[in-house]
Structure 1
Amino acid sequence: MKTPTRLTRTALPTALTLALLPLASQASSRAAEYFERVATFPVYRNLGANEDAAMQTVAEITTVSRDGRTLIYTDSPGERIGLVDIRDPKSPKPAGFVQLEGEPTSVAVHQHYALVAVNTSLSYAQPDGVLAVFDIRNPAQPKRVATIPMGGQPDSIAISPKGRYAAVAIENERDEDLNGGLIPQLPAGFLRVVDLKGQPKRWSTRDVDLTGLADTAPGDPEPEYVSINDQDIAAVTLQENNHIVLVDLRRGRVMRHFSAGQVDLQGVDVEENDRIEPIGVLKGKRREPDSIAWVGPLLATANEGDYEDAEGEEGGSRSFTLFDYNGRVWHEAGASLEHAFIRAGHYPDNRSENKGIEPEGIAAASFRKQDFLFVGSERGNAVAVYDVARPWAPAMHQLLPTGMGPEGILPIPSRNLLVVSSEEDSAEDGYRSTISIYQYGAKAAPYPEIRSTANSLIPWGALSGLTADRTLASRLYAVPDSYYKASRIFRVDASKTPAVIDGQVELRKAGATVDYDLEGIAQASNGDFWLASEGNGKARPNLLVRANARGEVLEEFALPDEVAAQQTSNGFEGVAVVGEGADMRVYVAVQREWKNDPDGRARIGVFNPASREWGFYHYPLDAAPEGAWVGLSELTSLGNGQFLVIERDNQQGPAAKVKRLYRIDLRGLQPSSEGQRFPLLSKTLERDLLPELKATNGWVLDKVEGAAVDTQGRLFVVTDNDGVEDASGETRFMRLGAVKR
């Protein structure tokens, strides 16, 4: 038996426990290394000069050429495969497309051939497809050399490590609009084995019948995903049937099969009520695995939980599982994976009643003798990396932010690279399908930059305002916006890396929770908090709210009628407090122009709590990029009449142009009342935030929302992740050094 510290050891021991025990003692003593994102390639860059850059184009499943220099991905909407040059992984370059006769569902590489599974079905009742084989010795000009009929609608394809076989899952997927999407819906799926002997035109195929195995719809197996070990044993998931099948590819027969079983989940959010409440219990949820990977002698499944039966019971198992060869569970993640996403701010509350974070992709590989399992969350937009030196007890190693809808996970150990393709693409909504490239070898995990404490489960997201404690260094406070109900204040310990949300206070008014749209927070000298709640120009008014340290709302201050009459849907953003007693003044930034404001002039209001009087300045906004707007996001006092202002456009990715921090000085200027001419402020660029937003080589985030300067003069800036809805969920917590006070 080979040395049992490598994932390539896939012999199937009869005494599995004895076989695995050496793994624990032989684990490497090297210092831990981590994956770090080095590039993000927006797939639309591969479009031709004559194609509209806004057209939908995606990367779903990705593979790599044998030399590790060219990525090949499936573009389903375009009915083609795309190529990306990664000779320099930090600077991927578009390498064009190859048109197909149908929808590509998967792609794999054997020697110098790319094998593309193509769905050419006329209908669900008449499934069909081919295996298109391309010679890619010249990646710039792939040459089609064979077309092999598949006899049905193909899905996943895998190549055996020894290069003897390809296995194609012929899913013959169901029509989800027919009979409520219930199976059986014939014709049944099967596994097609391709013998990779000789030239592609001479490759032969064999079919393996998968009917009669599962308890659920045994006559209609829908094979979803296939993975092959170095003993030429294919593991196949039947997702809708909640079943796993092991196939001996040499003999072309089923060796073993077993139910994927059920899982009980404790501490999950089961209600879509605009609150992350991981307190629910789900009993007996079918795992319904999507992808599968060999981890040494074990099998790891990503349990998406996709199917609803005739009784309306769904999967939604939200986990991953490690099985042995006989179907015995060696590790069940349960709710722990979802909890990790909650702590990192990546939980999609809008999926709580469905499948939560929806684990979908899974892969395993060894990097520098370190064994890893990668689990992708389709809805949480991240990949969890586990150390599987002891595969029966995976240990969370790190979390990697991705684009939206990560689908394909591709380890490339020969180049110390990991590639993740994310398929969600909507130019209209500002996000695009991307390929993220990570390099192994970082000395510390670069992400998350802020998370909640491991001691208790504190859900968070959509951070929209930030302030520093008046007396304690490294103590910050943050607020979420109206994406979540039950407004609260988070305590942040910025002395740690990542920063840690170690407490929260729920705001209450007369004992009841409140639902503000909090966009700013500041702390007064007596410890009270002043909060800016943004109005929407309709039922929700712009409010200044004063609350004590226990979260009790003490006062609400609305705008005078004559001022409120000018407001639009863009209202209060940042807030700052200076002075005390009768000298206290509360400053608030309005995001964009109101009705009677000149173009390019946003208001900064000044409120006197003692007299209840308001005055205003005009702030000159930068010119907006074409098709965009520019507004204010934050206001932070530096003392002595000076403030920092975040000014940003509403763009993301390559379209983002204005993400800036300006300094303004109000000394010697008196605000004017409504109806008078407001003094026009001057501003000085303090920091261009775009370089820092680009520094982590990801999709540039839109909402730079919070800024704080602590007692030691250190500047912190945070982004709003929009609650992981139509957004990647990534949160940047930027430490920008000292600022002159």
Structure 2
Amino acid sequence: MSKSLLTAASVLALCAGAAQAEMNFNRIASFATPDNMAEGEDRTRETSAEIIAATADGMTLIYTDSPLESVGRIDITDPANPQPMGNVEMGGEPTSVGVIGETAYIGVNTSESFTNPSGKLVALNVATGEVLGECDLGGQPDSVAVAKDGSFVSVAIENERDEDLGDGRVGQMPAGYLAMVQLTDGAIACDTLNKVDLTGLTEIAPEDPEPEFVDINSLGETVITLQENNHLVIVSKDGEVLSHFSAGAVDLEGIDATDERAALIFDESQPGRKREPDAVKWIDDDHFAIANEGDMDGGSRGWTIFAKDGTEVYEAGTSFEQALIMIGHYPDKRSDAKGVEPESIETATFGGTPMVFVGSERGSAVGVYDVTDPAAPVLKQVLPSGIGPEGYVAIPARNLLVSANESDLIEDGGVRAHVMLFEYQDAPAAYPTLTSEGMDELTGWGAISGMVGDAEQPGILYAVNDSFYGYQPTIFTIDATSTPAKITRALRVTRGGQPAQKLDMEGITLDGKGGFWVASEGRTDRLVPHALYNVNAKGEIKKEIALPASLLAVEKRFGFEGVTRVGDTLWMAVQREWADDEKNHVKLVSYNIETGEWGAVLYEKAAPATGWTGLSEITAHGDYFYVVERDNQIGAAAVTKKIYRIPAAEMVPAPLDGELPVVSKEEVRDLIPDLKGWGGYVVDKVEGLAVDAAGEVFVSTDNDGVDDSSGETFFWSIGKF
């Protein structure tokens, strides 16, 4: 049974550390894996960082890069400024790596087919990149673990199934096994290879165990996850099976199990969900933690602690997933699969506190747990990990935690795969910057777009989500007086008493009557109109204003991105050029609420270095109108993420059928240094800008609903204009 109700306290402890001056992990640097490519090498090739390890002195990282069939090395002598050491080709697909001293032991898959698997164990000098030796393992390796005393290596020989055969079920030969190889002064003693038979142990396909992950405790005992078989095995250093038991199942309540709804609704259940664990790590010599990713039938969206005799000590239930929901990291498009999909586990002791780090592959985050009492872990933090975290390594002697993030989105124009470094500091937690923790019911959120400040209450703002949540258009109330800022209300936008459809809310402003004006960007190819909506304090759409024919005649899909009100006039920023606009010029469109008159001026935006540039917000304050101008680039390619101001005196609308005046602009702030301040890569979508009742200015980013995105939302103050 799920113990999610019993662990609610640990969920609610998530943001407590953010406001306290205590030890916290904060991200200090990130390293893009293409930076390890040699000069002249094709940097458009796919690359990745999957399983990662560190040398004994903690100064060098080594990670597996499956697409490049290599391992990458990073010098972290200065962890805030990681430096490339290059890649070393492996002659196959590296799957895992462990390190003793300065020697890495790498599992390499050389299989010709599923039915003819093969692989090797390679010893590599991390500093020099010299291959010191290799050993034929007789099958396809997955996970590698090294004994703490340096005496042997354990390798999970998965011999994985072909998911396109037999409905993807286990029961496909040859069977997997555990390979144990002795080391002599660090050298692989191939003649000691011991293939430990794991058949006949499981209820599910006992003839075909598929070992997934291994770890070794200080007694030399290897714990093995048989993921598809939903089973756990403990093997002695001599290769004797000491114990084995089912990983069991969990009853999940209060989850979103349907991705077609395009909404965050947590009202479904999955009884008897098999855990099917992936990663496993010893906490001490008697307890280990598993990440319940699932693969074939299961995936319980959480993690579990077992004693090595098979006793279940702790079950997270849905509490881990709920923690990610509250900070905007829930991947709605994965709802019908395995939700946040915990895949990675790391354990270490920092400052005398034993910790478990649980990585969410789809939520792109890692939970930091205090496991002083293994029966009652306490969630201390959730850290943003990069897209698709696959592996972690803790370096307590240097107060460092490192994540390897495998997703490389080069084909989609997105961010490259990254390694990210976190430092355990005597400092407040920098992340999350926004949370719904503390609301009466579990409230998910994401894809935050336009914002506006309350007219009377300093620190109170309102924000909208965009069309990613097409069945759940929402106006969020944000209390920015707390750290992190808190969502205190989720006002659903309705039409005729039902969730309003065909909205793409990209801007919001106050209507002066207790309600709001909302700008919908619109996409005619999806039958989403470009329009303005007047929404009352209850969230009901009371008035819809369509664009005039003269504007619709030249419209393109990149429409209104922000709205602001001055008296009876609404001003909307059009993101990019429409059909009648001169290159690198966009319209700022006006609409008079009382007369119904439309007009516009032109704004000259920056010529893009790569991709495109456009506007993503407009806010009137004092004698100026402020706009956010940004490119669509991410990471090192980002150039333009800026706030400009336009004199209000120049914002005099001209008729749409005539020549439009070009307004002047002045740069107010470059936001790229702000975005770099969180230690990760520069995100692309700065979409919210609001001034509160006291004149404080807040900025926010859109996390794209955690779809091909790290899920990170940055919400911060930049002071006053």
Q: Same fold (TM over 0.5)?
A: yes
- Structure scoring higher RCO (CA < 8 A, sep ≥ 6) equals 2
| 1:424-456, Cα deviation, whole Å (9 max, x unpaired) | 112232211000001111421111100112342
Q: Is residue 2:700 matched to residue 1:718? A: yes
SS of the equivalent of 1:134 reads strand
Q: Is residue 2:64 matched to residue 1:64? A: no
Among 599, 606, 610, the residue aligned to 2:590: 606
CA contact (8 A) 1:299 1:324 kept: yes
SS of the equivalent of 1:158 reads strand
Partner AA of 2:516 in structure 1: F
| Matched residue, 2:99 | 109
Output the CA distance in 1 between the equivalents of 2:590 and 2:383.
42
Q: Is residue 2:609 matched to residue 1:620? A: no
Output the CA distance in 2 between the equivalents of 1:366 and 1:275.
39
SS of the equivalent of 2:467 reads coil
Partner AA of 2:197 in structure 1: D
**Matches of residues 142-153 of structure 1 in structure 2 within 5 Å?**
142-153=129-140
| Matched residue, 1:287 | 275
Partner AA of 1:221 in structure 2: P
Q: Quick one: structure 1 residues 106 and 199, their matched pair in 2 at CA, closer, same or farther if it must change by over 3 Å? A: closer
| 1:306-349, Cα deviation, whole Å (9 max, x unpaired) | 11xxxxxx212111011112212111111111111110100001
Q: Is residue 2:427 matched to residue 1:443? A: yes
SS of the equivalent of 1:599 reads coil
Among 52, 73, 76, the residue aligned to 2:63: 73
| Matched residue, 1:708 | 690
| Matched residue, 1:303 | 292
CA contact (8 A) 1:537 1:570 kept: no
| Matched residue, 1:676 | 658
Q: Quick one: structure 1 residues 222 and 662, their matched pair in 2 at CA, closer, same or farther if it must change by over 3 Å? A: same
Q: Is residue 2:504 matched to residue 1:517? A: yes
Partner AA of 1:616 in structure 2: A
Output the CA distance in 1 between the equivalents of 2:188 and 2:467.
60
Partner AA of 1:66 in structure 2: A
Among 564, 584, 591, the residue aligned to 2:575: 591
CA contact (8 A) 1:669 1:679 kept: no
Among 68, 81, 86, the residue aligned to 2:76: 86
Q: Quick one: structure 1 residues 679 and 168, their matched pair in 2 at CA, closer, same or farther if it must change by over 3 Å? A: same
Output the CA distance in 2 between the equivalents of 1:86 and 1:500.
35
SS of the equivalent of 2:321 reads helix
Deviates further, 37-46 or 154-163: 154-163
Aligned length: 694
Q: Quick one: structure 1 residues 668 and 321, their matched pair in 2 at CA, closer, same or farther if it must change by over 3 Å? A: closer
Displacement after TM superposition at 1:112 (Å): 3.0
SS of the equivalent of 1:289 reads coil
**Matches of residues 397-416 of structure 1 in structure 2 within 5 Å?**
397-416=380-399
| Matched residue, 1:331 | 314
| 1:542-565, Cα deviation, whole Å (9 max, x unpaired) | 111111111011101011112111
| 1:477-522, Cα deviation, whole Å (9 max, x unpaired) | 1100000022110110000000000111111112121131000001
CA contact (8 A) 1:339 1:457 kept: yes
Structure 2 stretches lacking a partner, 5+ long: 1-19
CA contact (8 A) 1:578 1:639 kept: no
Output the CA distance in 2 between the equivalents of 1:666 and 1:350.
42
CA contact (8 A) 1:524 1:578 kept: no
Displacement after TM superposition at 1:691 (Å): 0.7
CA contact (8 A) 1:666 1:681 kept: no
Output the CA distance in 2 between the equivalents of 1:394 and 1:404.
26
Partner AA of 1:40 in structure 2: S
| 1:127-181, Cα deviation, whole Å (9 max, x unpaired) | 1111111234xx1x22222111101111101011122221111111111111111
SS of the equivalent of 2:636 reads helix
Q: Is residue 2:473 matched to residue 1:491? A: no
Alignment identity in percent? 46
Q: Is residue 2:448 matched to residue 1:463? A: yes
Displacement after TM superposition at 1:669 (Å): 4.9
SS of the equivalent of 1:428 reads helix
SS of the equivalent of 2:34 reads helix
CA contact (8 A) 2:329 2:711 kept: yes
Output the CA distance in 1 between the equivalents of 2:125 and 2:709.
38
Output the CA distance in 2 between the equivalents of 1:220 and 1:625.
54
Q: Quick one: structure 1 residues 665 and 113, their matched pair in 2 at CA, closer, same or farther if it must change by over 3 Å? A: same
TM-score, normalising length: structure 2: 0.95
Output the CA distance in 2 between the equivalents of 1:529 and 1:461.
20
| Matched residue, 2:709 | 727
Q: Is residue 2:195 matched to residue 1:207? A: yes
Output the CA distance in 2 between the equivalents of 1:321 and 1:315.
14
Among 395, 406, 426, the residue aligned to 1:423: 406
Q: Is residue 2:346 matched to residue 1:363? A: yes
SS of the equivalent of 1:290 reads coil
CA contact (8 A) 2:181 2:188 kept: no
Q: Is residue 2:89 matched to residue 1:96? A: no
Q: Quick one: structure 1 residues 707 and 126, their matched pair in 2 at CA, closer, same or farther if it must change by over 3 Å? A: same
Displacement after TM superposition at 1:199 (Å): 5.3
Output the CA distance in 2 between the equivalents of 1:563 and 1:201.
72
Displacement after TM superposition at 1:537 (Å): 3.9
Q: Quick one: structure 1 residues 368 and 679, their matched pair in 2 at CA, closer, same or farther if it must change by over 3 Å? A: same
CA contact (8 A) 1:36 1:442 kept: no
SS of the equivalent of 1:667 reads helix
Output the CA distance in 2 between the equivalents of 1:573 and 1:734.
20
Q: Quick one: structure 1 residues 270 and 669, their matched pair in 2 at CA, closer, same or farther if it must change by over 3 Å? A: closer
Q: Quick one: structure 1 residues 146 and 495, their matched pair in 2 at CA, closer, same or farther if it must change by over 3 Å? A: same
Displacement after TM superposition at 1:716 (Å): 0.4
Partner AA of 1:401 in structure 2: P
What CA RMSD, in Å, does the superposition of the two structures yield over aligned residues? 1.3
| Matched residue, 2:459 | 474
Partner AA of 1:676 in structure 2: G
**Matches of residues 176-255 of structure 1 in structure 2 within 5 Å?**
176-198=163-185, 200-202=187-189, 204-249=192-237, 251-255=238-242
Q: Is residue 2:251 matched to residue 1:264? A: yes
| Matched residue, 1:162 | 149
Q: Quick one: structure 1 residues 112 and 601, their matched pair in 2 at CA, closer, same or farther if it must change by over 3 Å? A: closer
| Matched residue, 1:342 | 325
Q: Quick one: structure 1 residues 635 and 450, their matched pair in 2 at CA, closer, same or farther if it must change by over 3 Å? A: same
Q: Quick one: structure 1 residues 31 and 573, their matched pair in 2 at CA, closer, same or farther if it must change by over 3 Å? A: closer
Output the CA distance in 1 between the equivalents of 2:692 and 2:119.
61
